[in-house]
Structure formats: structure tokens, C-alpha cells
């Protein structure tokens, strides 16, 4: 499970990244992607996932994950749903 405390993203007691506006960064500050509208983008600006009809749809493997599962996997934080989806896709839920 991933936990968001403030802007920091934690897993198993280890800081794995942080949120910088609409960007997701690794613990050492490298930008790995961002979210905007209903879309998640990778570091190169390519769409990697989107929210569609109550699901997170990942383009890489055509996975359709219910948003309820994403919300269960990402604890805490005050992020829009697409922000939680970005954390889920970019850092693993």
C-alpha cells in the first residue's frame, strides 16, 4: 500500500517519491510523469493512462482497474482522483 503524507509518497516506511504540483517525482527529485484533466502522462509527455467510466485505463497493457481499487491502494493525501491514479501508475499502487 502507498501512503501520501503531505506531498511525500511512502511505501513500507520508505519515501518513494513526492508530489510537486501536478508532477510526480521520485524520492531524489526526478520527474517521472504528471497528471492533467483525466490523463496520466509519463516523463516524455506521452499519455499512459486515463480515467474512463469509473476505471483507470492503462495504455501499456490495456488494463482496466476499478477506481475503487486505486483509492484502496493509495491512502491519505488530498489529491484529485487523477492524481491518485498517476501515483498508482507511475510508482505502483
Give the start-to-end residue ranges of the domains of the chain.
2-91
Task: Return d(Cα 76, Cα 93) in angstroms, integer.
Answer: 13
Q: Is the predicted pLDDT of residue 53 greater than 90, yes or no?
A: yes
Residues 6+ apart with CB under 8 A from 23: 31, 33, 34
Q: Are 2 and 11 in contact (CB under 8 A)?
A: yes
C-alpha cell at 77: 493525501
pTM value surpassing 0.75: yes
* Model confidence band, residue 62 (pLDDT cutoffs 50, 70, 90): confident
Amino acid at each position: 500500500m502507498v501512503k501520501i503524507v503531505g506531498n511525500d509518497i511512502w511505501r513500507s516506511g520508505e519515501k518513494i517519491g513526492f508530489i510537486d504540483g501536478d508532477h510526480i517525482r521520485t524520492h531524489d527529485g526526478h520527474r517521472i510523469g504528471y497528471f492533467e484533466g483525466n490523463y496520466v502522462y509519463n516523463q516524455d509527455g506521452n499519455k499512459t493512462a486515463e480515467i474512463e467510466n469509473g476505471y483507470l485505463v492503462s495504455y501499456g497493457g490495456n488494463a482496466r482497474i476499478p477506481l475503487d481499487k486505486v483509492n484502496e491502494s493509495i491512502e491519505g493525501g488530498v489529491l484529485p482522483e487523477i492524481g491518485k491514479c498517476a501515483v498508482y501508475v507511475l510508482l505502483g499502487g
